Amino acid sequence: MPTLHLYLADGFANDQVVLRVDGRNVFDETGVTTRKLIGLAKQVSPVEVATSNPRLEIELPRKGLSIAVDVDLNKGTHIPISVEDDRISYSVERQLGFA
């Protein structure tokens, strides 16, 4: 089974963040804030998925922001998620190097 690695990176400021993978809640936490020194708010526990194209839903309910994407794990299994200019952004990486 492929494993998905999710990182809440830049732009979080005392936010509630909800993450779902293939419809399953994998993270729901309040008070998420980016630590500017390392550019990371939270590293989510690894998520095992059944396919190499899971559906990822990211929601910041208090800010009214949400996106849903189909992730191609053949491109990478590490996904940093950020908030910029009142929108959620993400990328798919082979590996990340946080301190």
How many domains would you assign to the chain?
A: 1
Would residue 33 count as lying in a domain?
yes
Instruction: Read off the CATH number of the domain in which 16 is found.
Output: 2.60.40
pTM of structure? 0.91
Would residue 28 count as lying in a domain?
yes
Residue pLDDT, tens place only, 20-72: 999 999 999 999 999 988 889 999 999 999 999 999 999 999 999 999 999 99
Would residue 14 count as lying in a domain?
yes
Region of residue 52 (left: phi > 0; alpha: psi -120 to 50; beta: else): alpha
Exposed, middle or buried by CB within 10 Å (0-12, 13-18, 19+), for 43?
middle
Would residue 96 count as lying in a domain?
no
User: The domain containing residue 13 runs over which residues?
Assistant: 3-90
Would residue 85 count as lying in a domain?
yes
